[in-house]
Structures are given as C-alpha cells and as structure tokens.
C-alpha cells in the first residue's frame, strides 16, 4: 500500500486544530458544492442524514475533532489522522478499533476529478456520513477485525468485499436505486455513471460473487452490486465471512469485465 506520493498530510497544533491555507479551503468548497448537487436524488437517505449529523458544509475543510464528537455520539466511531498512505496492517487495526483513517491533505486542482490516494474529501465526505449508521459502521468494524487476522491471500478476497460494498455499493429503495458507496459518492463522474450509464452491470448482491469479482481502482467500475437495504450489511456481520472467503478462494476469480492495465 505504501507508494510514493506528492501529498503530505497536515499536522495539528497542540489543540488538535489543523490550519489549512485559503487555497485548500477553496478546493474543498469546489468539491463540496459540485458533489452536493450531483448526489441529490442519487445518494441514499442514510447518507444525507449523516451529512446533516456531521454538519459538513462547503465553508471550510472540517476539523477532525468536530467529526469525532458527532461520530462518537452516533456509533462510537472516530476518525484518525494518518499520512497519505498507510500499511494494510495499520488500516485494519484502525477499523477494528472503530477509527476511520483520514489523510489530512486535499487534492490539487490538477487532480480535482481523480487521484489514487484517498484524501480528506474522499474520506470525510465519501465515508464519514454513513459511519453514523449502525449497520454500515458495524460492517466496517468487522471488516477490520477480520483483516487483522487474515493471511495475505485472504486479505485480497476481503478487499473485494469492501470494494463492492463500502466503496462502490448501491442500494434499492422505494424511490429507485441509490448510492451508499463512498468511492462513488465522493466522485462527480462516477456518481452519474453508476446510476445512469448503460455500460456497467448492476447485479443483486451475492457475497460469493462479490468476493470473486476482480476490480481496478483507476477506471469507472464495470460492475456494481445492489443490496436491498443497509440492514443487509449488518446481516453480513452475522455470518461466517471467512468461510465465504475460503469458499471463494476454492472457486477462483470470475472473468474480469475490464481490459488489462497497460504500462
């Protein structure tokens, strides 16, 4: 997971306050205002509720202490300041302890639409609102606990489950398909593509299918899985997920629905 990056996370003062320059607050404003418009009638209600609970706004990059106060009241979660990239061991350890890693930098204007490193907009806007939801929060914690104990190969399969739910999941509602995955909700282009393009497959969620479906991080996703409600995420925590991982390992991967990555 550790690769060279141009980004350096900003450090807090002795009171936990991080001073961001005006230009970075402006980048947050651009991202926030653009995204808040595009997720209207596309994000699930639980996400919108979470935005309100956290009190996020376009005004400024939020302070982690403020987010922690709201999250702890809802689900016992908090966020943890991290560098741009962390090891898998550290990632799983934080999740298992109900701490969501947040890199305290924001992307440059040149990478406004996409960057491989998760920045504070992706983590806070994309993921933190749903950490106010008990079902989503529980799955994320269990994922961390399992990842801590898993072998390298098991982690690769677990990563696919995380990708197809927490990052790129869709949910069926009375009003139609909605988005709950943070990787979609923090991306202007993917928010539109995930619900409105005819290109991707949108499949009913099946855990073995999700565990066996290859993905790439640098493209719009060719496959999305649809759960029937966020309570379905909680039901995943009540099954033997590692038994499903081992079953998937025996069955092997499905055929990728994307071209191989070129150098």
Query: Residues comprising the binding site?
Result: 122, 127, 167
Q: How far apart are CA 143 and CA 159, in angstroms?
A: 9
> With contact defined as beta carbons under 8 Å apart, do 134 and 41 qualify?
no
CA distances, 246 to each of 42, 87, 102, 240 (Å): 35, 24, 31, 10
- 36 by DSSP, 3-state: which? helix
Which entry of 122, 123, 190, 248 is annotated as an active-site residue?
A: 122
Binding-site residues for Fe cation, in ranges, read 122, 127, 167
- Chain mean position to CA 97: 17
Which entry of 24, 46, 93, 127 is annotated as an active-site residue?
A: 127
CA atoms lying within 13 Å on the CB side of residue 3 = 4
Which entry of 24, 46, 123, 167 is annotated as an active-site residue?
A: 167
Q: At what angle do helices 152-162 and 134-149 cross, to 10 degrees?
A: 160
* Closest to 115 measured CA to CA, from 29, 217, 200, 192: 217
Which entry of 78, 186, 187, 248 is annotated as an active-site residue?
A: 186
Question: Is 167 tagged catalytic?
Answer: yes
Question: Is 15 tagged catalytic?
Answer: no
Q: Tell me the Ramachandran region of residue 209: left when phi exceeds 0, alpha when psi lies from -120 to 50, beta otherwise.
A: alpha
Q: Which residues are catalytic?
A: 122, 127, 167, 186
């Amino acid at each position: 997971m550790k690769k060279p990056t141009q980004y350096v996370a900003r450090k807090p003062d002795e009171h936990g306050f991080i001073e961001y320059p005006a230009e970075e607050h402006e980048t947050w404003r651009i991202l926030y205002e653009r995204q808040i418009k595009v997720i209207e009638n596309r994000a699930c209600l639980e996400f919108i509720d979470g935005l309100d609970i956290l009190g996020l706004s376009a005004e400024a990059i939020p302070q982690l202490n403020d987010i922690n106060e709201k999250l702890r009241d809802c689900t016992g979660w908090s966020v943890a300041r991290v560098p741009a990239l962390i090891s898998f061991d550290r990632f799983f350890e934080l999740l298992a302890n109900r701490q969501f890693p947040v890199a305290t930098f924001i992307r440059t204007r040149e990478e406004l639409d996409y960057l491989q490193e998760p920045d504070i907009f992706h983590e806070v806007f994309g993921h933190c609102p749903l950490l106010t939801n008990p079902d989503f929060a529980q799955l994320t914690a269990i994922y961390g606990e399992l990842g801590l104990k898993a072998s390298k190969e098991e982690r690769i399969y677990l990563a696919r489950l995380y990708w197809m739910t927490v990052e790129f999941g869709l949910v069926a509602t009375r009003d139609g398909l909605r988005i709950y995955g943070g990787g979609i909700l923090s991306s202007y282009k993917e928010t539109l593509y995930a619900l409105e393009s005819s290109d991707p497959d949108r499949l009913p969620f099946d855990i073995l299918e999700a565990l066996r479906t290859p993905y790439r991080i640098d493209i719009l996703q060719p496959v999305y899985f649809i759960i029937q409600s966020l309570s379905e995420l909680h039901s995943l925590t009540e099954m033997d997920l590692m038994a499903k991982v081992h079953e998937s390992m025996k069955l092997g991967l499905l055929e990728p629905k994307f071209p191989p990555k070129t150098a």
